[in-house]
A and B are shown apart, each in its own frame.
Chain A
Amino acid sequence: MARMTMIEAVRSAMDVAMGRDEDVVVFGEDVGYFGGVFRCTQGLQAKYGKTRCFDTPINESGIVGTAIGMAAYGLKPCVEIQFADYMYPAYDQLTQEAARIRYRSNGDFTCPIVVRMPTGGGIFGGQTHSQSPEALFTHVCGLKVVVPSNPYDAKGLLIAAIEDPDPVMFLEPKRLYNGPFDGHHERPVTPWSKHELSDVPDDYYSIPIGKAEVRRQGSAVTVIAYGTMVHVALAAAEDTGIDAEVIDLRSLLPLDLDAIVKSVSKTGRCVVVHEATLTSGFGGEIAALVQEHCFYHLEAPVMRVAGWDTPYPHAQEWDYFPGPARVGRALTDVMEA
């Protein structure tokens, strides 16, 4: 057991997976010699050789396209897209190829790939280094979508993703790489070492994809979140004193609907939060499911807190980011409704 940051946990997952299975290969832009711009693959090339961890041309459709071919051969590629904002050139390969190869070939060929990508804002990355495109993946039949919120989950879920027989989009909230950011950007950064979920086993373990986790028990309202927003939701509950139950989805697809229904049926109120833009965001899907499955338990309309429907601005980052104040307001509103 060691204290790990999310970067170290992600790296440890790939290290363990590569050590256990020679078919696991890791590649992407700056991923090999240098170890990635966020250093998630540092040391892997030195340890496993440059045919198992290597640099690629700056070509996302090529990274994902070759990964698909390697998976068809029988390898288990775990590739990195340097920022989620750069995945669009690969979107065709992901949506029309990776997602459908099992289906269209009736299992003759499969596509066990993992596509890791740093996601979300909070580092003054502007509109091309801050996006949260998870809903563009959850809308695609055949992909799985995972968003961890802490080092322990990041390692266990990434190992599960690498072992999964189908393509998994693995979105790593980059603002969480070095600490459990709760949206209070004006306060000093808390390191992961002070958080219990940075206690990460050095060895192999995996966490099943599709299971949510309750991060805070509560009775007044259910807050459904994932990634960075889990920590923001916890801060909002703290700041407002509202007894919120905070659910960390961890996996958006498959979705742990049972966990959602169980909690909302108990609290009768629901706020969905995500950093991605509001309109057609994943929060809309959750809100629909909640009203379908919990309508007669609801005491108030389901509310959403999300990024504004604009590109992610640079200078106004903290006015854009749905921080604890905005989530707190929604909690207050839903309690008064």
Chain B
Amino acid sequence: MVDTGHLSLHVPEPAVRPGGQPDFSNVKIARAGAVPRPDVDAAAEDIRDLAYSIIRVLNRDGEAVGPWAGLLSDDDLRTGLRHMMTLRAFDARMLMAQRQGKTSFYMQHLGEEAVSCAFRKALNKGDMNFPTYRQAGLFIADDYPMVEMMNQIYSNESDPLRGRQLPIMYSSKDHGFFTISGNLATQYVQAVGWAMASAIKNDSRIAAAWIGDGSTAESDFHSALVFASTYRAPVILNVVNNQWAISTFQGIARGGSGTFAARGLGFGIPALRVDGNDYLAVHAVACWAAERARRNLGPTLIEYVTYRVGAHSTSDDPSAYRPKTESEAWPLGDPVLRLKKHLILRGLWSEERHVQAEAEITDEVIAAQRKAEEHGTMHAGGRPSVRDIFEGVYAEMPPHLRRQRQKAGY
């Protein structure tokens, strides 16, 4: 018998911890424009490389290059920049509102604005997203009223969800935004079911599933992939890899797999990995996947490589688990600044216009906030009724809930 020695358990560790020098040398980044754009009917096994590379359009100089470039008009690009700037300004105001005690909780998108803002532009009216808590760009880029978002965040008397949900767990069927659970990964397989239904009804609408790097470890992620694969559901399976699941680095969920995108390959699902801080690349890849889905070619898995610059939520402090300067070392830059640079290079934008746009957007956000606050905030002004606790558990209130509502005095 060969002496193989004693076993030891492997527990992955991030490259650096607080106090260390940020290091992303392990993140291999393809040159912008270098990754080919296959036909949308390509088989998963013929495009395996795309699950291990990073599709990028904007280069360091701000030029849009390569086969994934050229989809967006000048107006589209300026609108895209405005959406990202709006989301950033919205986040800043709502974070402040949380600190002022106007709401209990908030989650911001800082550094990840391109992912949801650009993705929304690849969808049509009637398509359905099954988002996580960090895709409010789907709303902003679809012109959902900010004041409605704030009413929800404040749980005030005009909260469309009647005070029942945690702040930012929005819902709007009209805007293709499925009710956010707050539970992780459950929505992923539901998106596949929605897409299957659309196929069963010979409809033309498609679904988009959303999940974070950490939650891909949940069994629902694997359930979603097997159902999507088996029934070739018209769904885009999005994985937002922002490097951190609260305090847990992405290596804990990723394990021995090279990338999150590569998870799709075992299911025969074409998988792409994209620069999540590149508005043009995100949009181009999303369009590719949406076309595949609409042409009944089945699901696509997309990993967006990005970085969560802020805290996970208002309830954690990232300096306790990663170097304070890590976000500055992130090699894919800032999505807003990168698109801005591109627009300026093309003569479509200027520093002056940017400053002016920032001021306008801040005014819009503040105006929406004032309007929302007329209807109350978490602890002041108008609130949803106690009656709302009991309504809507069922379509028709059963007798035991009627008795309990009466006991509560309503």
* A103, A165, A166, A210: residue with the most chain B Cβ atoms closer than 10 Å: A103
State the interface size on chain A (CB cutoff 8 A): 43
Nearest-CB residue, chain B, relative to A72 = B194
Binding site for A on B (CB under 8 A): 128, 130, 160-162, 164-165, 169, 171-173, 178-179, 181, 183, 186, 188-201, 207, 219-220, 223-224, 226-227, 230, 392-395, 398-400
A-B contact pairs, 23 of them (CB 8 A): A51-B199, A51-B200, A61-B220, A62-B224, A65-B224, A68-B190, A69-B194, A69-B195, A69-B197, A72-B128, A73-B193, A75-B201, A92-B183, A93-B186, A102-B394, A108-B172, A141-B393, A142-B394, A165-B395, A210-B398, A253-B398, A254-B399, A257-B399
Chain A residues 238 to 258 lying within 8 A of chain B, measured CB to CB, are 253-255, 257
- Does chain B have a CB within 8 A of A106? yes
Q: Is A25 at the interface (CB under 8 A from chain B)? A: yes
A194 within 8 A of partner (CB): no
Taking the closest CB of chain B, its distance from the CB of A112, in whole angstroms, is: 9
Contact in complex: A59, B190 (CB < 8 Å)? no
Q: What chain A residues lie within 8 Å of B201 (beta carbons)?
A: 73, 75
- B164-A72 in contact (CB<8A): no
Check: A66 CB closer than 8 A to any chain B CB.
Answer: yes
Residues of A62-115 contacting chain B, CB below 8 A: 62, 65-70, 72-75, 89, 92-93, 96-97, 101-110
Q: How far is the CA of A101 from the CA of B227 in the complex (A)?
A: 22
Q: Which residues of the partner chain B approach A57 to less than 8 Å between Cβ atoms? A: 226-227, 230
Asked if B171 and A108 sit within 8 Å, CB to CB, the answer is yes
Give the total number of A-B pairs whose CB atoms are below 8 A apart: 140
Query: Which residues from 19 to 36 on chain A have a C-beta closer than 8 Å to any C-beta of chain B?
Result: 25
Partner of A109, one of B179, B193, B224, B399: B179
B400 and A104 within 8 A (CB): no
How far apart are B401's CB and chain A's nearest CB, in angstroms?
8
Contact for A65 among B161, B165, B189, B399, CB less than 8 A: B189
Kindly state whether residue A326 has any CB partner on chain B within 8 Å.
no
Find A255's partner among B128, B226, B400 (CB 8 Å cutoff): B400
**Are the CB atoms of A69 and B398 closer together than 8 Å?**
no
9 other contacts beyond A66-B227, A69-B193, A104-B181, with CB at 8 A cut-off?
A59-B227, A65-B186, A70-B196, A73-B197, A93-B220, A97-B181, A102-B394, A109-B179, A257-B399
Q: Cβ of A65 and Cβ of B398 under 8 Å apart?
A: no
Asked if residues B192 and A104 are in contact (CB atoms below 8 Å), the reply is no
Sorted nearest first, the 10 A-B pairs with minimum C-beta distance are A69-B193, A66-B193, A65-B189, A62-B223, A73-B197, A105-B179, A69-B190, A69-B194, A254-B398, A105-B171
Q: B226 touches which one: A25, A62, A101, A105 (CB < 8 A)?
A: A62
